Chains A and B, each alone.
Chain A
Amino acid sequence: MAKELTIMMLTWEFPPRIIGGISPHVYHLSKSLARNGIKIYVVTCDFPGAPQHEIIDGVEVFRINPYKNPSPDFATWVYLMNVNMQKEAAALVNSLGGKVDVFHAHDWLVADAGIGLKHVFRRPLLTTIHSTEIGRRNGIHFDYEKMIHETEAWLTYEAWRVICCSDYMVSHVRWAFGLPEDKLVMVPNGVNAEAYSKADRNDLNQFRGKFALPEEKIVLFVGRLVYEKGVHVLVNAIPKVLEKANAKFIIVGNGYMKEQLSSLVKNVGLAHKVLFTGFVDDETLRRLQKCADVSVVPSLFEPFGIVALEAMAAKSPLVASDTGGLSEIVEHDVTGVKVYANNPDSLAWGITKVLQDETYANQIRRNAYEKVREKYDWNKIAQQTKTVYEAVLDEYSKTTWT
């Protein structure tokens, strides 16, 4: 391709605005694409203190005012936010003389904007489906959920290709929206392994002392405290683990289950063994992951499981439930321990196994780190994504829209 490939990414979150996994995903993907010679524009929602326009390692970021009035509910806010995102993105593309080759929308949160831009500029739309409403809610029960589900279906219908981050998500999305097989592409999510290779050991021992006694092993959970993340399963597994090992359970993250979980912990008399930290900054999080004697991902539903990759990159032995994307990331007894989802006994068994057998723990930690470097490297993921863009543009060049 003689001309420079130009992509416009649409995402409702981009650092420093971080709500879930889409923000770091788009951040690393766009930076790695820029490094591979692709011109990238990111259009996202604003954040206090962040500039409206900036260039980060070759990525041009535009932050728009989403919708600041009170909104009846979250979904209505999303559709209203899309009005402004679409308006600003349209003006931007117009000012570039229409020189955008592909619009890339991340999740239903930017469905309206992506679909609109596709039609007004007649350029292909591509979407990455990170998660689905039917998966998040374990079924569609109310009109609110159905509306979001149908919006997701509409986005995948309008998209030229649908990227999912795991084989599990490919089949899940295919089932959820009845898509043809050749519309779906699997490109894994990545992890920035270099970020974990900083901070030295001595420093870490002192840091560790702030969270656990020297004789306590650290069992780490990182994630939103919501039902589908299965943190309640971990809490139920704690007494069984403590029968065999001395450990401190550190739970990082916030969510609607926080109160419920902490009172559960208090009622069984384990408050001194469990620490709820709430949100922590990136640096603290990375250090905790490096200190963790075992990292636990007990999700009931997990499209991908980025936190599992982070543990692997941090060389922390991993225990994960055998579900969704986690099933693909973890090879049992090789790169981690797989346990039954929603089963505290099985989870306790997995944690205890890692805590009691140091040779075994070291072996899975080494293998996991190698796997991360080989398969989940952002540069490789960017190259795979670029191949998808080129395939779409090749097909597009043969249509009546060109």
Chain B
Amino acid sequence: MMQVIIFSWEYPPRMVGQLADYVRELAIQLAKSNVKAYVVTYHDYLSGQYDEPEGVKTYRVTNPVRTHIGVLTWVLTLNQEVERAAANIYYSTDKQVSLIDVHDWHFITAAVTLKKALNIPYIYSVESLEEHRSHGANSPFNMGIKSIEWLGMYEAEKLIVKSEWMRNEVVRLFKVPLEKIWVISPKSVNWLKNVLEAYKSVAEGGTSAWLKN
């Protein structure tokens, strides 16, 4: 049975944009498809474990450092708690984590360490990019986020994007090889089937390919 950990910085009841609903729908569909689905997400005070009635296991972590000077420092310290929660899942499931699916840049750094330390492959699911969010601004702050996005793409086994346009943008901005990026539209009738196939391919090929190194 495939075991997947999903990283997302937003998840109901905490909604920032559209990602929260999408990730929840994904997790529920995975659970229905005989995939053990864990979601590691952030909540300021509703922290801890919770098993949703639909079969999804959620772990909400909070930031151990309460005061911050910007989103970057906030994200980077929060990542340590995401990493800790994922490591706890890994050790409590007899090290049977097939892969991590990271949604957007926020929790990339945790996924990278987990890959390097424990050989867990990850998929980087790109919802949006700093280049578009900041309308091309390139301050040291934007650069910090872009460098995390770059690291995420470089270390990822595969990328999943939601449109052809985004695939082209990822190639244009980060020079990622085209074949490393899958386009899976949430609107497609084959959405779940394609996601499951992508997971399966990374869980099997990804891990073994990585272990061979």
Contacts and interface: CB of A to CB of B under 8 A. Distances in A.
B65 A154 contact: yes
Question: For chain A, what secondary structure do more than half of its interface residues adopt (helix, strand, loop), or is it mixed?
Answer: helix
**Most-contacted residue by chain A among B77, B113, B143 (CB, 10 A):** B113
B117 A90 contact: yes
A150 B76 contact: no
A79 B143 contact: no
Q: A interface, how many residues as a size bin?
A: 35 or more
Contact of B76 (A69, A73, A79): A79
Interface stretch (B22-30, B79-87, B170-178, B180-188): B79-87
Question: For chain B, what secondary structure do more than half of its interface residues adopt (helix, strand, loop), or is it mixed?
Answer: helix
Interface in B69-125: 69-70, 72-73, 76-77, 79-80, 83-84, 87-88, 91, 109-110, 112-114, 116-119
Contact of A76 (B73, B83, B118, B119): B73
B111 to A, nearest CB: 11
B194 to A, nearest CB: 30
B149 to A, nearest CB: 12
Q: B interface, how many residues as a size bin?
A: 35 or more
Given A87-B112, A147-B65, A150-B65, A120 B118 contact: yes
Given A67-B147, A69-B143, A90 B69 contact: no
A147 B68 CA distance: 6
B139 interface: yes
B67 interface: yes
**Most-contacted residue by chain B among A72, A117, A120 (CB, 10 A):** A120
A142 to B, nearest CB: 9
B195 interface: no
A75 B73 contact: yes
A119 interface: yes
A70 to B, nearest CB: 4
Interface of A: 67, 69-73, 75-76, 79-80, 82-83, 86-88, 90-91, 93-94, 112, 115-117, 119-122, 143-144, 146-147, 150-151, 154, 157
Which 3 residue pairs of A and B lie closest in terms of their CB atoms, listed nearest first?
A90-B117, A90-B116, A79-B76
